[in-house]
Amino acid sequence: MRKIVLGIAAATLAAIAPAAFGQTKYSGETYGKKAALGSNQCDRYKMAMSVEIAGSEVNGLFQQKDRPQRTFKAVADSKGAFRTKAKVDGGEMDVKGQLKGETADVTLDGYCVFTFNLKKI
């Protein structure tokens, strides 16, 4: 009986944990850093990002200055971590992030590495 109750409690927590992130928006800007096989001009590339969280769904929008907007979608785990890929001209960028309540850390890694410390808006 105890195992059944613990199993139900664990399943309930697992089901509601993603909802703990609620509906939240983050935004910020950063400059790039050179990736392993990237451009030598990364430190001149400015990137803006906004991320919207709905439950465990993560919807991101990013744009390098004078370039088209790009998007990504991911699902955050119970600790707020997520990983996905974003399509860009000529390939993909790895997207990795961590939701932290008032802030969110997101890294875009591809032709350059952009490390964001996004603020809740």
Residue at token pair 């309540």: 101
Residue 77 pLDDT greater than 80, yes or no: yes
Q: What is the pLDDT of residue 2?
A: 52
Mean pLDDT, residues 65-88? 96
Distance, in Å, from the CA atom of 79 to the CA atom of 107, rounded to the nearest integer, reads 17
Residue 73 pLDDT greater than 80, yes or no: yes
Provide CB contacts within 8 A for 118, sequence distance 6+. Answer: 26, 27, 28, 49, 50, 51, 103, 104, 105, 106
Report the greatest alpha carbon distance in the chain: 63
Q: What is the pLDDT of residue 20?
A: 53
Q: Would you say 35 and 95 are in contact if contact means Cβ atoms under 8 Å apart?
A: no
CATH number, domain 2-120: 2.40.160.90
Q: What is the pLDDT of residue 7?
A: 47
With bands split at pLDDT 50, 70 and 90, how would you rate the model's confidence at 21? low
Task: Tell which residue, 35, 38, 18, 29, has the closest CA to residue 82.
Answer: 18
Q: What is the pLDDT of residue 70?
A: 97
Mean pLDDT, residues 37-52? 91
With bands split at pLDDT 50, 70 and 90, how would you rate the model's confidence at 4? low
pTM for the model stands at: 0.80
